[in-house]
Amino acid sequence: MGRKIIAAGNWKMNKTAGEAAEFVEALKARVSDANSEVVVGVPFVCLPGAIEASKGSNVKVAAQNMHWEEKGAFTGEISGAMLSELGVDYVIIGHSERRQYFGETDQTVNKKVHAAFKYGLKPIVCVGESLTQREQGVTAEHVRYQVKIALLGLSLEQIKDTVIAYEPIWAIGTGKTATNEQAEEVCAIIRNCVGEVYGSEAAEAVRIQYGGSVNSSNASELFAMPNIDGGLVGGASLKLDDFEKIVKHDK
Protein backbone atom coordinates (compact mmCIF):
# COMPACT_ATOMS: atom_id res chain seq x y z
CA MET A 1 0.00 0.00 0.00
CA GLY A 2 1.41 3.38 -0.96
CA ARG A 3 1.64 5.91 1.83
CA LYS A 4 1.20 9.54 0.80
CA ILE A 5 4.13 11.77 1.71
CA ILE A 6 3.12 14.44 4.23
CA ALA A 7 5.12 17.67 4.36
CA ALA A 8 4.09 19.59 7.48
CA GLY A 9 5.47 22.92 8.59
CA ASN A 10 5.81 23.61 12.31
CA TRP A 11 5.98 27.38 12.52
CA LYS A 12 6.50 27.39 16.30
CA MET A 13 6.11 30.94 17.71
CA ASN A 14 6.49 32.76 14.41
CA LYS A 15 4.30 34.97 12.20
CA THR A 16 1.39 37.20 13.19
CA ALA A 17 -2.16 36.38 12.12
CA GLY A 18 -1.87 38.71 9.14
CA GLU A 19 1.48 37.30 8.07
CA ALA A 20 0.16 33.75 8.35
CA ALA A 21 -2.88 34.41 6.16
CA GLU A 22 -0.69 36.15 3.59
CA PHE A 23 1.75 33.23 3.58
CA VAL A 24 -0.94 30.58 3.09
CA GLU A 25 -2.55 32.66 0.36
CA ALA A 26 0.77 32.71 -1.52
CA LEU A 27 1.62 29.09 -0.72
CA LYS A 28 -1.56 27.49 -2.02
CA ALA A 29 -1.01 28.58 -5.63
CA ARG A 30 2.57 27.28 -5.54
CA VAL A 31 1.69 23.80 -4.23
CA SER A 32 -1.64 23.18 -5.96
CA ASP A 33 -0.12 20.43 -8.11
CA ALA A 34 1.89 18.79 -5.33
CA ASN A 35 1.78 15.02 -4.91
CA SER A 36 2.50 15.41 -1.19
CA GLU A 37 -0.03 16.28 1.48
CA VAL A 38 0.66 19.86 2.56
CA VAL A 39 0.16 20.99 6.17
CA VAL A 40 1.00 24.24 7.96
CA GLY A 41 1.20 24.14 11.77
CA VAL A 42 0.50 27.70 12.89
CA PRO A 43 0.17 29.49 16.27
CA PHE A 44 -3.31 29.49 17.81
CA VAL A 45 -4.04 33.14 16.94
CA CYS A 46 -3.18 32.44 13.29
CA LEU A 47 -5.58 29.52 12.89
CA PRO A 48 -8.74 31.36 11.72
CA GLY A 49 -6.92 33.39 9.06
CA ALA A 50 -4.85 30.43 7.86
CA ILE A 51 -7.95 28.24 7.59
CA GLU A 52 -9.84 30.95 5.68
CA ALA A 53 -6.88 31.47 3.33
CA SER A 54 -6.56 27.72 2.71
CA LYS A 55 -10.19 27.22 1.64
CA GLY A 56 -10.56 25.60 -1.76
CA SER A 57 -6.93 24.46 -1.76
CA ASN A 58 -4.95 21.34 -0.86
CA VAL A 59 -3.26 23.09 2.09
CA LYS A 60 -4.35 21.74 5.47
CA VAL A 61 -3.93 23.50 8.78
CA ALA A 62 -2.57 22.11 12.05
CA ALA A 63 -2.57 23.45 15.58
CA GLN A 64 0.68 23.12 17.51
CA ASN A 65 -0.83 21.78 20.73
CA MET A 66 -4.12 21.11 22.52
CA HIS A 67 -5.46 20.16 25.94
CA TRP A 68 -6.99 16.75 26.58
CA GLU A 69 -10.09 18.12 28.37
CA GLU A 70 -13.07 19.58 26.51
CA LYS A 71 -13.35 22.59 28.85
CA GLY A 72 -12.48 23.66 32.36
CA ALA A 73 -10.19 25.69 34.59
CA PHE A 74 -7.08 25.45 32.40
CA THR A 75 -6.04 29.04 31.85
CA GLY A 76 -4.31 29.61 28.53
CA GLU A 77 -5.21 26.19 27.11
CA ILE A 78 -7.16 25.28 23.96
CA SER A 79 -9.47 22.27 23.62
CA GLY A 80 -10.10 19.86 20.78
CA ALA A 81 -13.67 21.12 20.55
CA MET A 82 -12.41 24.65 19.92
CA LEU A 83 -9.99 23.49 17.23
CA SER A 84 -12.57 21.27 15.58
CA GLU A 85 -15.12 24.08 15.31
CA LEU A 86 -12.53 26.27 13.59
CA GLY A 87 -11.93 23.61 10.95
CA VAL A 88 -8.45 22.51 12.00
CA ASP A 89 -7.29 19.28 10.31
CA TYR A 90 -4.21 18.20 12.30
CA VAL A 91 -2.69 18.83 15.71
CA ILE A 92 0.96 18.44 16.68
CA ILE A 93 1.27 16.60 19.99
CA GLY A 94 4.29 15.99 22.20
CA HIS A 95 6.85 18.13 20.41
CA SER A 96 10.19 18.04 22.24
CA GLU A 97 9.86 21.75 23.04
CA ARG A 98 6.52 21.07 24.74
CA ARG A 99 8.13 18.22 26.67
CA GLN A 100 11.23 20.23 27.60
CA TYR A 101 9.73 23.61 28.47
CA PHE A 102 6.10 22.92 29.40
CA GLY A 103 6.09 19.61 31.25
CA GLU A 104 4.58 17.41 28.55
CA THR A 105 4.88 13.72 29.45
CA ASP A 106 4.29 10.47 27.58
CA GLN A 107 1.06 10.11 29.57
CA THR A 108 -0.29 13.56 28.66
CA VAL A 109 0.65 12.89 25.04
CA ASN A 110 -1.53 9.77 25.14
CA LYS A 111 -4.46 11.70 26.64
CA LYS A 112 -4.14 14.36 23.95
CA VAL A 113 -4.02 11.79 21.15
CA HIS A 114 -7.29 10.28 22.37
CA ALA A 115 -8.83 13.77 22.65
CA ALA A 116 -7.70 14.62 19.13
CA PHE A 117 -9.55 11.64 17.67
CA LYS A 118 -12.62 12.40 19.81
CA TYR A 119 -12.90 15.77 18.05
CA GLY A 120 -12.04 14.61 14.54
CA LEU A 121 -8.46 15.87 14.51
CA LYS A 122 -5.53 13.89 13.15
CA PRO A 123 -2.57 13.82 15.54
CA ILE A 124 1.05 14.31 14.53
CA VAL A 125 2.80 12.64 17.48
CA CYS A 126 6.42 13.62 18.08
CA VAL A 127 9.01 11.25 19.52
CA GLY A 128 12.79 11.39 19.68
CA GLU A 129 15.93 11.08 21.74
CA SER A 130 18.42 13.52 23.21
CA LEU A 131 22.09 13.59 22.32
CA THR A 132 22.94 11.86 25.62
CA GLN A 133 20.46 9.08 24.95
CA ARG A 134 21.89 8.55 21.47
CA GLU A 135 25.44 8.50 22.78
CA GLN A 136 24.46 6.00 25.48
CA GLY A 137 22.97 3.68 22.85
CA VAL A 138 19.37 3.77 24.17
CA THR A 139 17.70 5.46 21.17
CA ALA A 140 15.70 2.38 20.18
CA GLU A 141 14.46 1.65 23.71
CA HIS A 142 13.56 5.28 24.38
CA VAL A 143 11.69 5.85 21.12
CA ARG A 144 9.85 2.51 21.35
CA TYR A 145 8.69 3.43 24.86
CA GLN A 146 7.45 6.84 23.69
CA VAL A 147 5.55 5.27 20.79
CA LYS A 148 3.94 2.56 22.90
CA ILE A 149 2.68 4.99 25.55
CA ALA A 150 1.54 7.60 23.01
CA LEU A 151 -0.59 5.09 21.08
CA LEU A 152 -1.92 3.16 24.08
CA GLY A 153 -5.61 2.30 23.75
CA LEU A 154 -6.09 3.43 20.15
CA SER A 155 -8.09 1.38 17.66
CA LEU A 156 -6.60 -0.01 14.47
CA GLU A 157 -8.35 2.67 12.40
CA GLN A 158 -7.03 5.41 14.68
CA ILE A 159 -3.49 4.07 14.43
CA LYS A 160 -3.76 4.14 10.64
CA ASP A 161 -4.81 7.82 10.83
CA THR A 162 -1.95 8.79 13.15
CA VAL A 163 1.21 10.48 11.90
CA ILE A 164 4.35 9.86 13.96
CA ALA A 165 7.16 12.39 13.67
CA TYR A 166 10.63 11.17 14.61
CA GLU A 167 12.59 14.17 15.80
CA PRO A 168 16.07 13.60 17.18
CA ILE A 169 16.20 16.41 19.74
CA TRP A 170 19.87 17.00 18.99
CA ALA A 171 18.98 17.90 15.39
CA ILE A 172 16.18 20.41 16.03
CA GLY A 173 17.18 23.98 15.28
CA THR A 174 20.87 23.11 15.54
CA GLY A 175 21.60 22.78 11.85
CA LYS A 176 22.65 19.21 12.53
CA THR A 177 20.73 16.59 10.62
CA ALA A 178 20.68 12.88 11.17
CA THR A 179 22.12 11.11 8.15
CA ASN A 180 19.56 9.53 5.84
CA GLU A 181 20.59 6.16 7.25
CA GLN A 182 20.22 7.29 10.88
CA ALA A 183 16.78 8.75 10.21
CA GLU A 184 15.68 5.66 8.27
CA GLU A 185 16.95 3.34 11.00
CA VAL A 186 14.84 4.94 13.72
CA CYS A 187 11.76 5.32 11.49
CA ALA A 188 12.04 1.59 10.75
CA ILE A 189 12.27 0.90 14.51
CA ILE A 190 9.06 2.92 15.00
CA ARG A 191 7.26 1.03 12.22
CA ASN A 192 8.39 -2.32 13.63
CA CYS A 193 7.18 -1.27 17.07
CA VAL A 194 3.74 -0.37 15.72
CA GLY A 195 3.67 -3.74 13.93
CA GLU A 196 4.54 -5.67 17.07
CA VAL A 197 1.74 -4.06 19.07
CA TYR A 198 -0.96 -3.44 16.47
CA GLY A 199 -0.16 -5.75 13.58
CA SER A 200 1.19 -5.46 10.06
CA GLU A 201 -1.82 -3.59 8.65
CA ALA A 202 -1.30 -0.75 11.12
CA ALA A 203 2.46 -0.74 10.55
CA GLU A 204 2.05 -0.50 6.77
CA ALA A 205 -0.51 2.31 7.02
CA VAL A 206 0.95 4.60 9.68
CA ARG A 207 2.91 7.51 8.26
CA ILE A 208 6.25 8.34 9.87
CA GLN A 209 7.86 11.71 9.29
CA TYR A 210 11.39 12.81 9.94
CA GLY A 211 11.86 16.15 11.67
CA GLY A 212 15.22 17.69 12.47
CA SER A 213 16.61 20.48 10.30
CA VAL A 214 14.77 19.29 7.18
CA ASN A 215 15.48 21.71 4.35
CA SER A 216 15.11 22.10 0.59
CA SER A 217 18.49 20.44 0.00
CA ASN A 218 18.01 17.24 2.00
CA ALA A 219 14.24 16.63 1.78
CA SER A 220 14.29 14.68 -1.47
CA GLU A 221 16.80 12.08 -0.26
CA LEU A 222 15.21 11.79 3.19
CA PHE A 223 11.70 11.32 1.81
CA ALA A 224 12.96 8.65 -0.58
CA MET A 225 13.91 6.34 2.29
CA PRO A 226 11.58 3.32 2.60
CA ASN A 227 10.23 4.14 6.08
CA ILE A 228 10.20 7.95 5.90
CA ASP A 229 6.87 9.36 4.75
CA GLY A 230 7.64 13.07 4.77
CA GLY A 231 8.87 15.66 7.20
CA LEU A 232 7.89 17.89 10.09
CA VAL A 233 9.72 21.00 8.97
CA GLY A 234 10.80 23.84 11.24
CA GLY A 235 12.61 26.96 10.02
CA ALA A 236 12.46 26.08 6.33
CA SER A 237 8.64 26.02 6.46
CA LEU A 238 8.62 29.76 7.19
CA LYS A 239 10.13 30.55 3.78
CA LEU A 240 7.90 30.21 0.73
CA ASP A 241 10.59 29.13 -1.71
CA ASP A 242 12.12 26.59 0.65
CA PHE A 243 8.84 25.05 1.77
CA GLU A 244 7.60 24.82 -1.83
CA LYS A 245 10.74 22.87 -2.76
CA ILE A 246 10.29 20.52 0.19
CA VAL A 247 6.64 19.91 -0.66
CA LYS A 248 7.49 19.33 -4.33
CA HIS A 249 10.63 17.31 -3.62
CA ASP A 250 9.67 14.79 -6.30
CA LYS A 251 9.14 17.25 -9.15
Would 1 be classed as within a structural domain?
Answer: no
> What is the tens place of the pLDDT at every residue in 174-225?
777 789 999 999 999 999 999 999 999 999 999 999 998 899 999 999 999 9
Q: What is the pTM of this model?
A: 0.96
What's the length of the chain?
251
Task: Tell me the CATH number at 85.
Answer: 3.20.20.70
φ, ψ for residue 233 (rounded to 5)? -105, 130
- Domain count for the chain, please give it: 1
Would 83 be classed as within a structural domain?
Answer: yes
Q: What is the mean pLDDT of residues 165-172?
A: 90
Specify whether the CB–CB gap between 167 and 127 falls below 8 A: yes
Which of 104, 167, 184, 244 is catalytic? The answer is 167
> What is the tens place of the pLDDT at every residue in 69-103?
999 999 999 999 999 999 999 999 999 999 999 99
Which of 95, 97, 244, 249 is catalytic? The answer is 95
Predicted local distance difference test score (pLDDT) of residue 176: 76
Which domain range does residue 146 map to? 6-247
Would 201 be classed as within a structural domain?
Answer: yes
DSSP H helices, the chain, are: 17-30, 47-54, 80-86, 96-102, 106-118, 131-135, 139-150, 156-160, 180-198, 200-205, 219-223, 240-247
Would 213 be classed as within a structural domain?
Answer: yes
**Catalytic residue status for 167:** yes
